[in-house]
Structure 1
Amino acid sequence: MSHPDNITLVVATDNHYAILLGALIKSIEENHKTSEKIDLYIIDDGVSDSNRKRISESVTPAVTTLFWFKTREVLPPGIRIPVDKSAFPITTYLRLFAPYIIPAEARRFIYLDVDMIVLEDISKLWHTDLQGKLLGAVQDLSKTVGSDWGGIPRYEKFGFKADDLYFNAGLIIGDPIRWRKEDISNKVIQAITDNLDEVNLADQYGLNVVLNNQWLPLDERWNAFSALDIKAPYLIHFLDIKPIFKTYRSNPLYREEFYKYLRLTPWKDFEPVSDYRRLARKAYNKLRKNVLGLLK
């Protein structure tokens, strides 16, 4: 049973990335120092029974309670996931519906991508003062909407300035009551649908279009990208090739941190796998999106 004072976390995973969620859970628990309980809401996009069991066994029941939701339970009736051209999995869009699966009385939520590990007490992030903003996030590698290689293509048509800040949507701490009241999920999907030829980073594009200048920039250590060397990070985000693959090419110290926590889970004997699985997964993601598009 959830409690309004508990820390409310939301993640989304498919079966491929279930192992990453195991490491994320242990990293959160191992570094959580307050007495606050954690409610972890998992959007399950096809996790196998065996991996679901492993995830459940990664949890310390006295600390963390799991709440599972199938993808079909999360998507509101009539909602269509936009079929962009990227290899991002469908699960990346599911964060848009995080505020709808948590208790109505919850006054805040934290969404985390599963390709992360947390090295600081999650309660410190939980108690962040949002200063009246709808959400808090960390600037993306591309920094601004006017970035040549990231950001928002043709940002001028939205009335944005080139130096408006652009956030990475892998970590969000937000106000779910305002989110629902302001219908953010539908606005983001509409922004993506209306500009599908320009969408470069799935729902992150839409979130930045809809919430431009309405978010609070957090300390970069709360979303330290694995390609960088950020000292004493609070959270590491494996944006590029994940540490479960032999071809991992980001900060090696961050990979060691990942395996430190993975060894505390039922995946403790796991060894990095060949790259063909990663490439096959990307191909699968694109195919699945195209099939969904045909079903519209």
Structure 2
Amino acid sequence: MDDQEWFAEQMAQHRPRLRAVAYRLLGSLTEVDDALQEAWLRTTRADPALITNPAAWLTTLVGRVCIDMLRARQARREQLSATWEPLVSEYGDPEEATLHTDAVGIALLVVLDSLEPAERLAVVLHDMFGMPFEQVAVVVGRTPAATRQLASRARRRLREHAPQPRAGLPAQRRVVDAFLAAARAGDFDALLALLAPDVVFRSDHGRRARLAPALLTGARAVAARAADAGPRFARLCAPAMVNGVAGVVARDRSGKLVAVVGFTVHDDRIAAIDMVLDPDKLPAGPAASTLTGSFLAPGADDQDGG
């Protein structure tokens, strides 16, 4: 077996893990594939005889590719909207299902996307994939001590701004289904009872939309929006798993996917609603315009409402 055959075999064996690493770092399925392709090209400059742990070596290689991509993205940040893309299990791709491991919810991706590249790599590689700080330090170009500080700083941001589910999928599903039923009925009181007091709603319309990314905070603001516009939107929705947690997808009358919504459920209440309307990020292609008036797409005048 020659060197490239050996590398091809190792890449194939560890591909699910490498894609999961790249997705948590980049948040974009298109960029995940680009990162793995670039990592493959870089194997041509490596000597297999010097590699004692192929899994760790490939993870480090993909991490280096990803940090280069994150830094390039940061350099043009003013031209970009959020880059994360949702994973929807209804499409049934077994390889995509591996990316759902550990429930990387959209709320987490939103905060990860706001971190500095080195912070993001430190917390993802160490906390999510168990890579020792000594190895992470090589990827980010810092000392192990400095890398620990990066991860600690990122960890605090995640705890503050990215609530994680505290319920199993059946319990999440019950709460989300109840929310949709209340939205269809326009039942403000029922909606309010299902929302955490400090619930956060975020939506991403994409760079081509005229609306800015929307933010609503507080149960009354979100419930009011849902009671007002929810009946029309909820009729388009069907259950799905979105980034490892209970969510919904919405399709127009032609069957085209127009929205993906992920919910974070804490103690039988919804703590966060994250919605993607950006046609560039939807698996089924463009068509978000039909929902721009729904409660999941409030206008610019709703920024930071409470």
Please, what TM-score do these two structures have when normalized by structure 2?
0.24
Higher RCO, 1 vs 2 (CA within 8 Å, ≥6 residues apart): 1
The structure that is strand-richer by fraction is 1
The structure that is helix-richer by fraction is 2
Please, what TM-score do these two structures have when normalized by structure 1?
0.25
